């Protein structure tokens, strides 16, 4: 079988991670860091496009990576219109939507833009894979309780889908043949019900419902939130920061470092232990909710993300939910590999690239 070489581009707010994969083996990987001074002159995120692309091209040249050796280029999917999961060919419409920020501005928008431009110059395909806007909700999951506030699908789609496929492989099944509950434990926490290859329900991990996390409040008692909003004590920006940034572990313990909180709990800090256990408790409750969504027919529970390295945290969750199904634990996240795997599936004909419309 012919080896496939792909360039992977994953932009963050102050860095751009790039890698060259030959099939699933890393040939080259580098994090290109961008200083505040370098970025301050760009009014919009999309304005950074040529600046970041040129740095990527220089890094490849310096390390002897010939663009002519590439089979495809895969960029991190950005804030597009809601789409179903999968690998998408980057087309003119997607490029424009990323450029204008059709669903908001984020550094990840640059991934698709840069991949498209470099690939077009080489006459090779360019892809994005499972962006955060993946929306495969059943209609019933959109109903919140008031028509002004629809529930939205915003979650760690790339990593959730990648580890779901990994678990499916261990079960000797296809992802599309299984019902799985996938838990991503990071700065934000998302718990998704994967029904035969579709995430039919998941909490809004950006700034909405679900378990609290190291820096997000998750679901809060809504009446108390309304009173705080109109108390005159806080600005809208301060309330927003309570929900995302200064919520969760940060709010209770003045740190968003879950590892530090775990160490505090193990050393006898009772408050740290209570809060840390409460975070695991809420995750376990959300797993139970997803089991209901899947009618109790659950082939596996998959736990991933940085906090999955914490044995006490994973054990707390596992003890609560092991009656539901077999548990798979894949600590950390490897977005570069997940992006490469999405491109490989299309290049090998295992999947058909989807069209953004």
Model pLDDT for residues 44-77, shown as the tens digit of each residue: 999 999 999 999 999 999 999 999 999 999 999 8
pLDDT at position 208: 76
Domain range holding 93? 5-135+335-355
pLDDT at position 122: 97
**In the chain, which residues have pLDDT < 50?**
none
Q: How far is CA 253 from CA 7, 265, 342, in A?
A: 41, 11, 39
CB-CB neighbours of 220 under 10 Å:
14
pLDDT at position 40: 87
**Domain annotation covers residue 158:** no
304 lies in the same domain as 339? no
232 lies in the same domain as 324? yes
Q: How far is CA 164 from CA 3, 57, 170, 194, 198, in A?
A: 25, 33, 10, 8, 11
**Domain annotation covers residue 19:** yes
Please report the DSSP string for 184-217 in residue order: EESSSEEEEEEETTEEEEE--TTTSSS---SSB-
CB 10 within 8 A of CB 18: yes
Residue in the block written with tokens 């091209």:
57
Q: How far is CA 240 from CA 67, 106, 169, 243, in A?
A: 44, 18, 40, 5
77 lies in the same domain as 124? yes
240: CB partners within 8 A, 6+ apart: 207
How many whole angstroms separate alpha carbon 150 and alpha carbon 152? Answer: 6
pLDDT at position 156: 93
How many whole angstroms separate alpha carbon 322 and alpha carbon 141? Answer: 25
Q: Which of 313, 241, 308 is nearest to 276 (CA)?
A: 313
Q: How many domains does the chain have?
A: 2
303 lies in the same domain as 347? no
Angle 49-62/109-122 helices, nearest 10 degrees? Answer: 60
**Domain annotation covers residue 145:** no
Tell me the two tokens of residue 66: 């010939």
195 lies in the same domain as 312? yes
**Domain annotation covers residue 149:** no
Tell me the two tokens of residue 38: 């370098």
Task: Tell me the pTM.
Answer: 0.92
87 lies in the same domain as 120? yes
128 lies in the same domain as 184? no
Identify the CATH number of the domain in which residue 127 sits. 3.30.420.40
Tell me the two tokens of residue 240: 């927003």
pLDDT at position 120: 97
308 lies in the same domain as 347? no
């Amino acid at each position: 079988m012919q080896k496939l070489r792909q360039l992977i581009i994953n932009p963050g707010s102050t860095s751009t991670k790039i890698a060259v994969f030959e099939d699933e083996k890393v040939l080259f990987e580098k994090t290109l860091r961008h200083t505040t001074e370098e970025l301050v002159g760009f009014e919009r995120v999309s304005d950074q496009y040529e600046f970041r692309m040129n740095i990527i091209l220089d890094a490849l040249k310096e390390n002897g990576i010939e663009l002519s050796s590439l089979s495809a280029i895969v960029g991190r999917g950005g804030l597009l219109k809601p789409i179903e999961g999968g690998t998408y060919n980057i087309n003119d419409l997607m490029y424009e939507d990323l450029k204008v920020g059709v669903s908001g501005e984020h550094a990840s928008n640059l991934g698709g833009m840069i991949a498209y431009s470099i690939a077009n110059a080489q006459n090779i395909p360019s892809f994005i894979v499972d962006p955060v806007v993946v929306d495969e909700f059943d209609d019933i999951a959109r109903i919140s309780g008031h028509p002004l506030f629809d529930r939205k699908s915003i979650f760690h789609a790339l990593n959730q889908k990648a580890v779901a496929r990994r678990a499916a492989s261990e079960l000797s099944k296809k992802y599309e043949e299984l019902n799985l509950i996938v838990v991503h434990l990071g700065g934000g926490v998302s718990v998704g019900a994967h029904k035969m290859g579709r995430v039919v329900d998941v909490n809004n991990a950006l700034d909405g419902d679900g378990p609290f996390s190291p820096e997000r409040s998750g679901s809060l008692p809504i009446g108390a939130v309304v009173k705080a909003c109109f108390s005159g004590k806080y600005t809208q920006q301060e309330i927003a920061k309570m929900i995302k940034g200064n919520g969760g572990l940060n709010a209770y313990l003045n740190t968003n470092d879950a590892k530090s909180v775990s160490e505090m709990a193990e050393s006898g800090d009772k408050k740290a232990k209570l809060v840390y256990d409460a975070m695991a408790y809420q995750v376990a409750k959300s797993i139970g909710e997803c089991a209901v969504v899947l009618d109790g027919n659950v082939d596996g529970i998959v736990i991933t993300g940085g906090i999955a390295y914490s044995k006490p945290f994973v054990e707390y969750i596992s003890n609560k939910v092991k009656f539901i199904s077999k548990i798979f634990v894949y600590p950390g996240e490897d977005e570069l590999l997940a992006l490469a795997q999405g491109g490989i599936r299309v290049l090998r004909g295992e999947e058909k690239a989807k069209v953004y419309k």
